[in-house]
């Protein structure tokens, strides 16, 4: 889950890498560093914390050959020693890594026996020393060392001898492009935005070598092969906060525009018609994702099973992968991922492919691995989402799954109420200050609901946990009394989603149960719904179609989490211990 940006260009390469690295901070921000090839040899500069800590160095250094890295720590605490790049003990190679070397402990022992004592706690430094100890040219060293490494990696390596950068990858993304600044290797094509017309996704059996003005690609036998480029696509103005202090607020406030875009793009049915054949002759549907995307899967599973007469179930990718799943050619896998790069989700796609099952991606990033791997795609058109907490992308995912289910239920279904959804969503981008203060002062919060509302409860709680660091539990309202209600004390806030009309009375019973144990109840429901005077109310515009009301219901809760996080003095865009894109298992 780290970001890699490397350049062979002119003397300003450190500055250009810095600019690229800033765009990759969504992949992790525990530490940042760069290695420069200079007349004096390889120079390393690294710092704990954000990429901005490299700015002075990058803007005051010169080198044509630079590798740089922003880290999300896996092995070894996020300090300066463990920051990348690492330099080999013979000072000939420097390396940055995204991924996990699973057999690093065993390799470390072997290195120690040979007298090589790594200075960091990382698996990445071990990989570097394994490469360094191989015989031959740098290409031969890399080729032979890769056979000894288990796990996932995107490596970029400076080789002092050949004055070149080597790039290889397995289950971690790495792209290369000839840009106006030189030849660039990076974890994401956003680094090439406005600098290149085309890019190449490094293939898993390729070794890339970049030297001054030259880009060479070798196959696994080190035979040079030709390069196929893909046209660059618009990846949005990712660095622009449009006057907002935080991306997260900007992204929540973009939701009406996102809804409008989705409804208009899906209105002509072309996108959905392309995937309709995926639903022919299947026996079950499995929806897979992680975190917020998993919640979208739950939503999708419920929607699809309500219109198709087959089993539709949602699974957490990291659980599904190791659960001996039953997949046949008649199983359809739907993979939901904002980034399209989440390692656990990608791992599951491979299982489906092995069994000859059909795969469908629901994603926001169209150049991502998920789109490359799946047989079909449903784009969610949310636009670049930078805040670590997913907001507009979640709304987009569930809306797209909703539109899919409507079409599958009735191919002639005309969007009518859906056309009003964007305007209705504008009305819910607000939150009562009193509720914000109540949550800010609480050490635990419960979110409850039934049916679709129980999924919103999970998602609302996840938002609060991840950016405000308040213990929050999302729970089905009917299940509370079977144990969890023991945690309700005087003053505990309980946020109750109540958009499902047929379940309303039952949901209200849960409100009474927690209220009589001292809870402060906040009900998320349609404006005209009657609730007790002492309950707080988060009002939603009424929708005839209650699934649409439920889609709207999460928006004020996203804003609540944002306001609480900001109010407590945290940075909602960069919550601790997290990264936007989780590219390790």
Residues 6+ apart with CB under 8 A from 89: 116, 129, 132
Among 345, 456, 565, 583, binds ligand M6R (CB under 6 A): 345
Among 334, 389, 468, 561, indicate the residue that binds ligand M6R (CB under 6 A).
Answer: 389
Pick between residue 66 and residue 288 the one whose CB is nearest to ligand M6R. Answer: 288
Stretch that binds ligand M6R, among 230-238, 338-346, 373-381, 444-452 (CB under 6 A): 338-346
Question: SS3 for 494?
Answer: strand
**Three-state secondary-structure class, residue 43:** strand
522 binds ligand M6R (CB under 6 A): no
Among 120, 339, 457, 583, binds ligand M6R (CB under 6 A): 339
- Of the candidates 377, 406, 537, 580, the residue annotated as catalytic is 580
Sign of CA dihedral 144, 77, 561, 450: positive
Q: Which two tokens stand for residue 128?
A: 């570097």
Nearer to ligand M6R, 363 or 507 (CB): 363
Residue 425 binds ligand M6R (CB under 6 A): no
Nearer to ligand M6R, 64 or 338 (CB): 338
DSSP 216-250: EEE-TTS-EE----EE------TT--TT-SSHHHH
Residues 6+ apart with CB under 8 A from 125: 86, 95, 118, 119
DSSP string across 359-417 = EEEEES-TTSHHHHHSSEEEE-------SSS--HHHHHHHHHHHHHHHHHH-TTPPPSG
Rounded Cα–Cα distance for residues 60 and 152 (Å): 34
Closest separation in Å from C-beta 575 to ligand M6R: 8
> What backbone torsions phi and psi does residue 344 show, to the nearest 5 degrees?
-60, -40
Q: Which is nearer to ligand M6R, 182 or 291 (by Cβ)?
A: 291
Q: Please report whether residue 337 would count as binding ligand M6R according to CB under 6 A.
A: yes
Sole window of 173-181, 220-228, 239-247, 287-295 interacting with ligand M6R (rule: CB under 6 A)? 287-295
* Catalytic annotation present for 170: no
First to last CA, the chain: 10
Count of residues touching ligand M6R (by CB under 6 A)? 16
State how far the Cα of 519 lies from the Cα of 304, in Å rounded to an integer. 35
Q: Does the protein bind ligand M6R through residue 582 (CB under 6 A)?
A: yes
Q: Return the H-helix or E-strand segment holding 354.
A: helix 343-354
What string marks each residue from 453 to 482 as x (binds ligand M6R by CB under 6 A) or -? ---------x---x----------------
Residues numbered 552-581 forming contacts with ligand M6R, rule: CB under 6 A: 581
The yes-or-no answer on residue 2 being catalytic is yes
Part in contact with ligand M6R (CB under 6 A); list of ranges 153-161, 183-191, 382-390, 546-554? 382-390
Which CB sits closer to ligand M6R, 381 or 504?
Answer: 381
Please state the closest distance from residue 334 (CB atom) to ligand M6R, in A: 13
Region of 373 on the Ramachandran plot (φ > 0 left; ψ -120 to 50 alpha; else beta): alpha
Q: How far is the CB of 238 from ligand M6R (least distance, A)?
A: 15
**The only residue of 94, 271, 327, 388 in contact with ligand M6R, by rule CB under 6 A:** 388
Taking CB under 6 A as the binding criterion, the range among 17-25, 332-340, 405-413, 471-479 that sits at the site for ligand M6R is 332-340
- Vertex 452: Cα angle to 446 and 457 (nearest 5): 15
Instruction: Mark the segment that binds ligand M6R (CB under 6 A) among 106-114, 159-167, 212-220, 284-292.
Output: 284-292
Q: Is residue 172 a contact residue for ligand M6R (CB under 6 A)?
A: no
Which of the stretches 185-193, 206-214, 291-299, 413-421 binds ligand M6R when contact is defined by CB under 6 A?
Answer: 291-299
DSSP 171-190: SS--EEEEETTEEEEESSGG
Q: How far is the CB of 345 from ligand M6R (least distance, A)?
A: 6
Q: Helix 452-468 and helix 291-307: axis angle, to 10°?
A: 170
Determine which one of 2, 191, 290, 312 is catalytic.
2
Tell me the residue number closest to ligand M6R, measured at CB. 291
Q: Residue 217 corresponds to which tokens in the numbers above?
A: 């690609």
Instruction: Render 311-334 in DSSP notation, one character per residue.
Output: EEEEEEHHHHTTS-----TTEEEE
Beta-bridged to residue 493, according to DSSP, are 520
Nearer to ligand M6R, 284 or 392 (CB): 392
Q: Measured from the CB of residue 349, what is the shortest distance to ligand M6R in angstroms?
A: 12
> 35 is written with which tokens?
């290695």
Contact between 171 and ligand M6R per CB under 6 A: no
CB 380, CB 263: distance < 8 Å:
no
CB of 342 to ligand M6R, least distance (A): 3
Q: Which residues bind ligand M6R (CB under 6 A)?
A: 290-293, 337-339, 342, 345, 388-390, 462, 466, 581-582
State the catalytic residues.
2, 580
């Amino acid at each position: 889950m780290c970001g890699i940006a490397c350049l062979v260009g002119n003397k300003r390469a450190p500055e250009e890498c810095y600019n690229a690295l800033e765009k990759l901070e969504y992949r992790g921000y525990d530490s940042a560093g760069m290695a420069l090839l200079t007349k004096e040899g390889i120079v390393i500069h690294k710092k704990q914390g954000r990429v901005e800590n490299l700015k002075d160095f990058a803007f005051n250094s010169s080198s044509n050959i630079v590798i740089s890295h922003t880290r999300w720590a896996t092995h070894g605490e996020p300090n300066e020693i463990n920051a990348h790049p690492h330099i080999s003990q013979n000072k000939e190679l420097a390396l940055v890594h995204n991924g996990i070397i699973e057999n690093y402990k065993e390799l470390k022992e072997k290195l120690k026996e040979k007298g090589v004592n790594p200075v960091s706690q990382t698996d990445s430094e071990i990989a570097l020393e394994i490469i360094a100890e191989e015989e031959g040219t740098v290409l031969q060293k890399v080729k032979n060392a890769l056979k000894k490494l288990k796990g996932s990696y995107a490596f970029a390596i400076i080789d002092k001898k050949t004055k070149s950068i080597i790039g290889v990858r397995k289950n971690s993304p790495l792209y290369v492009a000839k840009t106006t600044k030189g030849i660039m290797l990076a974890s994401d094509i956003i680094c090439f935005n406005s600098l290149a017309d085309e890019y190449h996704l490094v293939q898993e059996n390729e070794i890339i070598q970049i030297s001054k003005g030259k880009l060479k690609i070798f196959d696994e036998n080190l035979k040079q092969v030709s390069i196929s480029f893909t046209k660059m696509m618009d990846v949005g103005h990712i660095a622009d906060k449009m006057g907002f202090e935080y991306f997260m607020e900007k992204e929540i406030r973009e939701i009406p525009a996102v809804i409008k875009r989705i409804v208009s793009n899906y209105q002509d049915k072309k996108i959905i018609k392309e995937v309709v054949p995926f639903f022919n002759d299947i026996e079950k549907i499995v929806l897979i994702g992680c975190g917020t995307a998993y919640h979208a899967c739950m939503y999708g599973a419920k929607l699809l099973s309500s219109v198709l007469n087959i089993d539709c179930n949602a699974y957490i990718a990291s659980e599904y992968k190791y659960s001996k799943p039953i997949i046949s050619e008649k199983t359809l896998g739907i993979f939901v991922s904002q980034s399209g790069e989440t390692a656990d989700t990608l791992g599951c796609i491979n299982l489906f492919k092995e069994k000859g099952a059909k795969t469908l991606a629901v994603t926001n990033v169209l150049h991502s691995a998920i789109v490359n791997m799946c047989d079909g795609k449903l784009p969610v058109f949310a636009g670049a989402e930078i805040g670590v907490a997913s907001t507009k992308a979640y709304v987009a995912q569930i809306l797209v799954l909703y539109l899919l289910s409507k079409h599958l239920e009735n191919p002639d279904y005309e969007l009518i109420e859906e056309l009003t959804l964007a305007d209705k969503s504008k009305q819910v981008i607000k939150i009562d200050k009193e509720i914000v203060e109540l949550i800010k002062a609480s050490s635990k919060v419960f979110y409850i609901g039934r049916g679709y509302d129980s999924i919103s409860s999970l998602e609302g709680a996840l938002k609060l946990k991840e950016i405000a660091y308040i213990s929050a539990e999302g729970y089905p309202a009917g299940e509370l009394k079977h144990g969890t209600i023991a945690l309700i004390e005087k003053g505990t806030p309980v946020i109750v989603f109540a958009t499902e009309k047929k379940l309303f009375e039952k949901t209200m019973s849960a409100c009474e149960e927690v209220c009589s144990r001292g809870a402060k109840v906040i009900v998320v429901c349609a404006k005209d719904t009657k609730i007790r005077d002492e309950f707080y109310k988060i009002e939603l515009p009424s929708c005839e179609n209650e699934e649409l009301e439920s889609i709207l219901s999460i928006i004020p809760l996203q804003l609540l989490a944002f306001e609480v996080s900001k109010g407590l003095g945290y940075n909602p865009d960069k919550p601790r211990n997290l990264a936007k894109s989780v590219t390790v298992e």
